[in-house]
Amino acid sequence: MDIEVTFQENIHVLKVSGQLDALTAPDYEQRLNRVIAAGAQRLVVDFGALVYISSAGLRALLNTTKPLMAHGGSLIYVNLQPGVREIFEMTGLLSLFHVCDSMPEALAEISVS
């Protein structure tokens, strides 16, 4: 797994590629927690290049979203690949997380939140 952090319109954009599983979930949590601890309030996580997510990866999403929301932040997941979207649907996470289909849509929505 690789995570690239960039800024677009004063919003932290994290592009996640590879697999988010038991081996990589701790790295994902550490990276996001560092970004949040540094003061990030609005995050867009781009899963366009994420090809697989396991239950450990889903747990990492929950573990990083809770602290951000507790501090009034917002987060949008974008560009879910079909297999990842299916996992989100099967686990009910589509109703829990804010998900957009495109980066422009995600940036527009998070800008008004």
E strands present in the chain: 2-8, 11-20, 42-53, 74-78, 99-100
Up-side HSE of residue 111: CA atoms within 13 Å toward CB? 10
Whole-model pTM: value is 0.94
Q: How far apart (Å, rounded) are the C-alpha atoms in residues 45 and 80?
A: 10
8-state DSSP, 26? H
pLDDT, one tens digit per residue, over 1-33 is: 999 999 987 899 999 999 999 999 999 999 999
pLDDT, one tens digit per residue, over 58-98 is: 999 999 998 898 889 999 999 999 999 999 999 999 999 99
The amino acid occupying position 90 is M
pLDDT at 70 (0 to 100): 86
Angle at CA 112, nearest 5°, toward 38 and 97? 70
